[in-house]
Amino acid sequence: MMSRVAITVAAGALSAQAIESQANPIRKVVTMLQSIKAKVEQEGEKEEKMFEKYMCYCSTGASSLGKSIADAGIKLPEVASDIKESEAQHAQLNEDLTTHRGDRAAAKAAMEEATGVRNKEAATFAAYHAEATSNINAITGAVTSLTNGMAGGFLQTAGAARLQKIVQAKDNMIDGDRQDILAFLSGSTEYVPSSGAITGLLKELGDEMSRDLADTTATEEGAIKTYDELMAAKNKEVAACTAAIEDKTVRVGELAVSIAQMKNELSDTETALMEDQKFLADLDGNCATKKSEWGVVVKTRGEELVALSETIKLLQDDDALELFKKTLPSAASSLVQIKVDSVSARKQALTLIHAADRPGRHTLDFIALALHGKKVGFGKVIGMIDQMVKDLKKEQTDDDDKKEYCSLSFDAADDKKKGLERAVSDHTTAIENSEESIATLASEIKALQESIAALDKSVAEAGAQRKDENEEFTTLMAQNTAAKELIGVAKNRLAKFYNPKLYVPPPKRELSEEDRIAVSMGGTAAPTPAPGGIAGTGITALAAISAHGGQKVDPGPAPEAVPAYSKKSEESQGVTQMMDLLIKDLDKEMTVAETEEKDAQADYEKMTKDAAEKRAADSSTVADKASDKADTESALEAHTDDKTSATKELMATNQYIASLHADCDWLVKYFDVRQEARSSEIDALGKAKAVLSGADFSLLQTRSLRGRA
């Protein structure tokens, strides 16, 4: 069964012209059916010529069968003799291979053994050479020192101790000479031979050790040469055996293939001979049988062509094509695959938006809701993100301005308080500050009222969007269901021809009471109304089978007979599998759509709930600020009325300072926190925008961003 990947790759291999002509996968199904139909027609023309040729053969007789039978009688003993001779050669080659393999294994074993012995000898020689060289050098140094008259100094060196060990270890040295040298080296006062005698003994000892070293070195070089010659000879032997093994292995394989072919040829010739003899005896019967079989072939082919034509007509109906165009938008890949990139981008952006979300930030809820929707394109969402970033930067600017205002106001208030303690005239400044506070409160009240209006508008737009998405979901489910049923109709029509066991016939017509009375009275029932819907059919199922068709090629020189008709079951099975994949894609899309609809509805309900809470909170804040504005206006009036009173001016100033604390302390305390939160939101929105524009961020980064938020 074709895998989904194989079908996707095959679809991707279509030329640009084929893709343009096949707007959705059903076009490919139709093309496959048309290809099967063309193949059936071409085979019909070819088999018709074969049948005419075979009938000509029947009419002119089968005189050539006699010659074929005679040739087979001569050929059979020749082939049997060739088989016997080849089997003998095959056995001999196998024996030779066994011998060559044994010789090669023995040569390799000898090489390994010789290499082991050579390594041991080389190690022994290396140790001896090092020791002998060291001893000779020590004796040479001693002779040089004695010759130069430095006997006393030499006896105190390490070389003297080394020479003493050499003399003691020398086995073939005269005991008297050994005693003289040892006495000299030990510095004994009992007997001190002349240095000339000692020098002579040491030179003789050194010459003897040099001769031993030279002899041993010559022996080692001879052993190396012998080893190299042995290895060269064995390598040649191994190479020769390997070449012989490779050559005879190839010959054994070729002989085995040749023997198998000759045996097959012998069996085929024997079979052909028997069939020729039988065919010659039953020529008239065979010709009559082929004529009868040809009638069945023609009838079956006609039925297959009708089945293919009706299925193609069903799938090419205008209503069917329109439905498939809506439900199966692409022929190059599966319905779920074509949406992978956009869905992945939406999910990544949605994860980043949720990571930056914090209480009171309802604009993010609208962006998240827009990402859930299918009708809202990335361009609009990116525009919302840009606007959100712009608003966040404006909020930060407002906070910066207000912080600066608060800082300046505190300083000014303190100065004014001190000034009021000195002079009553400074109350004028307090009046101006009160007027500024009133303007600020008025501006904040206006901003909150605009925010409430914008919130109401966003809720209304979200409701309209939710309604459109629900209608789109309902339409998608209805269209996909209809498409699945229509594909089932096409499958069932193919099953009617290729596998009648799986064919589901239409339900029997139930006669109405009036029709039953008419029939019982000898009349006829009203004609069955023509089925409606796409292509006017009511068939509902399809399955494909693998039909086994055979073909008998007549032996001898007779022309090839028309084979028994073989339905295009394999091709139709490929079409059926394609239809099954389309149905699976539709099921997947419906499942995804149901999940998205459920999630979008839940998000919409959450958004409306949060929006209602924010509206209530903003309305309460408007009322509080209106009250604060009224209080400030009253204070201003009091400052104006009591301008001449220093005490009242001072109290008014203290009241103003208190109001500044009430208005600014919270901002100053949480200024850094608010600034960091806005920076995180702007960063998350930037990443979400980048994702929607084609960039990619790992889930690990997203979780890290959520943790920081």
For the segment 261-277, what is each residue's pLDDT rounded down to a tens digit?
888 888 888 887 887 77
**Is the pLDDT at 338 greater than 50, yes or no?**
no
Residue 308 pLDDT: 84
What letter does residue 190 receive in the DSSP assignment?
S
- In the numeric block, which tokens belong to residue 65? 């069968």
Sorting pLDDT into bands at 50, 70 and 90, what band is 536?
Answer: low
Residue 57 pLDDT: 73
Sorting pLDDT into bands at 50, 70 and 90, what band is 519?
Answer: low
Residue 311 pLDDT: 85
Sorting pLDDT into bands at 50, 70 and 90, what band is 18?
Answer: very low
**Is the pLDDT at 537 greater than 60, yes or no?**
no
Instruction: Tell me the mean pLDDT in the region 96-119.
Output: 90
Residue 700 pLDDT: 38
Q: Which amino acid is at 520?
A: S
State what percent of residues in the chain have pLDDT above 90.
5
Sorting pLDDT into bands at 50, 70 and 90, what band is 137?
Answer: confident
Instruction: Tell me the mean pLDDT in the region 678-703.
Output: 67
Top-ranked range on mean pLDDT: pick from 182-196, 231-245, 285-299, 427-441: 231-245
In angstroms, rounded to a whole number, what is the distance separating the alpha carbons of residues 226 and 233? 11
Sorting pLDDT into bands at 50, 70 and 90, what band is 629?
Answer: confident
The pLDDT tens digits of the residues spanning 650-686 come to: 777 788 788 878 878 887 788 888 888 878 878 887 8
**Is the pLDDT at 401 greater than 70, yes or no?**
yes
Three-state secondary structure readout of 467-483: HHHHHHHHHHHHHHHHH
Residue 106 pLDDT: 92
Say which residues have a Cβ less than 8 Å from residue 690's Cβ, sequence separation at least 6: 697
What 3-state DSSP class applies to 510? coil
Residue 265 pLDDT: 83
Of the candidates 479, 459, 466, which has an alpha carbon nearest to the alpha carbon of residue 24? Answer: 479
Instruction: Tell me the mean pLDDT in the region 75-91.
Output: 88
Mean pLDDT is lowest, of 27-31, 340-344, 483-487, 607-611, for 340-344
What 3-state DSSP class applies to 408? helix
Sorting pLDDT into bands at 50, 70 and 90, what band is 99?
Answer: very high
Residue 544 pLDDT: 32
Sorting pLDDT into bands at 50, 70 and 90, what band is 648?
Answer: low
Top-ranked range on mean pLDDT: pick from 67-76, 119-128, 371-380: 119-128
CA distances from 597 to 332, 592, 603 (A): 27, 8, 10
The pLDDT tens digits of the residues spanning 571-626 come to: 777 788 888 888 888 888 889 888 888 888 888 888 888 888 888 888 888 888 88
* Dihedral angle sign, alpha carbons of residues 316, 322, 326, 329: positive
Q: Which amino acid is at 400?
A: D
Residue 580 pLDDT: 84
Please classify residue 534 by burial: count the beta carbons closer than 10 Å to its beta carbon, then call 0-12 exposed, 13-18 middle and 19+ buried: buried
Of the candidates 572, 494, 584, 478, which has an alpha carbon nearest to the alpha carbon of residue 539? Answer: 494
Top-ranked range on mean pLDDT: pick from 42-56, 165-179, 646-660, 695-709: 42-56
In angstroms, rounded to a whole number, what is the distance separating the alpha carbons of residues 606 and 460? 14
Sorting pLDDT into bands at 50, 70 and 90, what band is 19?
Answer: very low
**Is the pLDDT at 7 greater than 50, yes or no?**
no
Residue 3 pLDDT: 34
